[in-house]
Homo-oligomer: A and B are copies of this chain.
Amino acid sequence: MGDRVAARAESSELTRQRILEAARHLFTERGYFNTSLQDIRRESGLSIGSIYHHFTGKEELARELFYDTLSFVESDIRRVYAQYSGARERCYHVIESLFETTESMPEVMEYVLYFKHREVLPGEKPICASQPFEIIKSIIAEGMAAGEIRPMDEVMASAALLGGPIRLVQLRLEGVIVEPLTQHLSEAWECAWRSVAA
């Protein structure tokens, strides 16, 4: 008997995901404000009523996607942190994972980079106060203590290390770079590491 409850819950979760996927696609393609709930209804193949049954409104869709994406990025960085040791290795694999995600899930990457929290979700904490940012900072702090990274302001070091790669991701998403970013990994890494290496 619990089966029927479980099946219903599962199907409910499925429609939830369908709505979120449609929203993510449209938000990244034409932007939050250029997407109406009618668009999301059409894209998801469901109805307005159904959307409002699962979410309180359009804003919650954006919020949900935002936190989804953020925790995806976070777990990815955590994995790298746990799997490797030393700032050099860890930073390398953070950038590698950044490039891989750009290729395999460009919409997720686009959402992370271009989503304007302040505009769409006023009152949310800025992304730089988020967990991923904190992990990066501690990787760098440890690397500095170990003498791998030149002593300098931590914010400076993180900007120097990731600024270039992030810029490349943007150029790739905009279509300026046409080859997969993974092809440029070693060259990008060389530039990034030189900027902070001791």
Q: Does A31 contact B (CB under 8 A)?
A: yes
Q: Does A70 contact B (CB under 8 A)?
A: no
**A119 contacts B33, C-beta separation under 8 Å:** yes
Q: Mark A149-180, 1 if CB is under 8 A from B, else 0.
A: 00011011101101111111001001011000
**B126 contacts A164, C-beta separation under 8 Å:** no
The chain B residue with its CB closest to the CB of A165 is: B163
Q: Does A34 contact B (CB under 8 A)?
A: yes
**B119 contacts A156, C-beta separation under 8 Å:** no
**B155 contacts A159, C-beta separation under 8 Å:** no
Count residues on chain A whose CB falls below 8 Å from chain B CBs: 38
How many copies the complex holds: the figure is 2
Which of B152, B171, B184, B192 is in CB contact (< 8 Å) with A187? B152
Point out the residues of chain B lying under 8 angstroms from A174, CB to CB.
126, 128
Which of B30, B114, B164 is in CB contact (< 8 Å) with A163? B164
**A155 contacts B128, C-beta separation under 8 Å:** no
**A191 contacts B196, C-beta separation under 8 Å:** yes
Q: Does A188 contact B (CB under 8 A)?
A: yes
**A184 contacts B156, C-beta separation under 8 Å:** yes
Point out the residues of chain B lying under 8 angstroms from A8, CB to CB.
none
**B119 contacts A34, C-beta separation under 8 Å:** yes
Which A70-129 residues sit within 8 Å CB-CB of chain B?
Answer: 114, 116, 118-119, 126, 128-129
Which of B126, B156, B191 is in CB contact (< 8 Å) with A160? B191
Q: Does A195 contact B (CB under 8 A)?
A: yes
**A126 contacts B176, C-beta separation under 8 Å:** yes
Q: Does A42 contact B (CB under 8 A)?
A: no
**B31 contacts A176, C-beta separation under 8 Å:** no
The chain B residue with its CB closest to the CB of A152 is: B187
Smallest CB separation, A105 vs chain B (Å) = 19
What are the 8 A-B residue pairs with the smallest beta carbon separation, nearest first? Answer: A163-B163, A163-B164, A163-B167, A160-B191, A33-B33, A31-B119, A195-B195, A159-B167
